[in-house]
Structure 1
Amino acid sequence: MNNYDDEYFFIQKSDGHGFPSLTPNEDTVERKYSFEIQSNDLSPFVFFNGAKDYLRKIGVTAVKSPPEILFDGTDLVVTSAIREKLVDMNIPGLYIHPTVYIGDDGSWHEDYWFLSFPIRFDCWDREKSDFSDTVLDLGGFKLHSVYTYSLDAKLLNDTPLEQRLLFKLGGTLDAYIVCHKSIARLFRGNGANGAKLVRIADF
């Protein structure tokens, strides 16, 4: 049986200093962008660096150019190059919407796309993972605080690989986006591209 905990990675924001912390503008917030799928012919989502003033206050120099991958919570905002490769893979349930990032200098970066999964894939093993018994009901989701993860091997065995290359993990407050090792190269940049990959077995 496969050791899926070694095959999958959480995609997380890089630990590097100076990366933007995305904050949606008022119009984007009102559109409930995180939960409601919207047609691509509607206006792009717009984000700016909500940590701009804080970074300046603590003396951290913001990166001069925004990285390939930005983070809105655990959701991803990626460049067109990454988006095109994901589209070619026909990832089930992946929601993509055009996005603009407004840099600290006021410049508009329009080569971005918001990625999310309105439907989550709950595939962590309750018997092998370490988690809190307290359940939080949030937006209709039953969520746990999970301390260590192990994936449900039987469920993944029963799910074709092409349907589980990339997904948002369900049933957990973390709600990380998870990628399979076969496509990890798209998100791996040793932190330089704005993201880091954490093997589930090492979480």
Structure 2
Amino acid sequence: MNDYDSEYCFISYKSTESRPILSADAETAALAYTSEALPLSSLPLKFKNGAANDKNKHIFSEEPPEILFHGSDIAVKAETFKQLTSIEIPNLALQPAIYIDQNNVHHGNYWFLTFTNKLDCWDRNKSLYAPEPLTGFNDIRYEVISYHLDKATLDSMPLTERRLFKMGATTEGWLLVHNSIASLFKKTGVELVPIKDFGITFFP
């Protein structure tokens, strides 16, 4: 019997003042880059360090980390990109991206992970969440505090279709990774949080 809560981790960030935060420039912000595979004419995506300003830009490293966060979404450098392209991951579009750091240096070796569909696989009977869904989206989303995964949903899918996915029907849409490929995301500044530790424990 599969214990899915022990097989998956959330891909999250380590909180620190010196962590760059991706902020889309005006041209990129006008695109559906978080949910659609964009035509080549729209690429590359462009992001700045939204956490930097004239007073604090000295605290950020000149060499940006392997993985950068944009909310719960991520952009990865070429090494991780190559590893991901060798794995068939449904609904994943890897889109080229440029990161413009706090010193206006352009880093063109990033790829943004866009999931064109989400996987709603959290257990409504065991998870802790606000019972009323939030409106204003094109789908139904709940504010989930702590998670348990739905066994029936995951049992119906082969592992090859659920090794990496974006959680559906939630306000945050965190990325989940199966233990079989979790090592790809063990990078500086990244926190791989087990299902049982996520929520109240991770965000007190």
Q: Structure 2 length normalisation: TM-score?
A: 0.91
| SS at structure 1 position matched to 2:97 | strand
> Are 2:74 and 1:79 equivalent residues in the alignment?
no
Distance 1:93 1:146 in 2: 23
Distance 1:28 1:188 in 2: 28
1:55 Cα offset (Å) = 6.6
- The correspondence for 2:149, drawn from 145, 151, 154, is 151
The amino acid across from 2:31 in the alignment is R
1:54 Cα offset (Å) = 7.6
Per-residue displacement from partner, 1:126-161 (whole Å, max 9, x unpaired)? 111111111113431101111110001121111100
Change (3 A) 1:55 1:21: farther
Distance 2:55 2:22 in 1: 13
Paired residue total: 198
2:43 matched to which residue of 1? 43
The amino acid across from 1:71 in the alignment is F
2:62 matched to which residue of 1? 64
1:26 matched to which residue of 2? 26
- The correspondence for 1:118, drawn from 110, 116, 119, is 116
Q: Percent identity?
A: 37
1:7 Cα offset (Å) = 0.7
**Is the 2:118–2:167 contact (alpha carbons within 8 Å) kept by the matching residues of 1?**
yes
| SS at structure 2 position matched to 1:84 | helix
1:67 Cα offset (Å) = 0.3
Per-residue displacement from partner, 1:53-106 (whole Å, max 9, x unpaired)? 18718xx71123100000111111001111111111110000111000011111
| SS at structure 2 position matched to 1:12 | strand
1:196 matched to which residue of 2? 191
> Are 2:161 and 1:163 equivalent residues in the alignment?
yes
Distance 1:43 1:155 in 2: 35
| SS at structure 2 position matched to 1:64 | coil
| SS at structure 2 position matched to 1:5 | helix
> Are 2:4 and 1:4 equivalent residues in the alignment?
yes
Stretches of structure 2 that go unaligned for 5 or more consecutive residues are 199-204
1:183 matched to which residue of 2? 181
The amino acid across from 2:8 in the alignment is Y
Higher mean alpha-carbon deviation, 156-165 vs 11-20, is at 11-20
Q: Structure 1 length normalisation: TM-score?
A: 0.92
Distance 1:160 1:3 in 2: 15
Distance 2:195 2:40 in 1: 33
Give the superposed CA RMSD. 1.7
Distance 1:130 1:70 in 2: 28
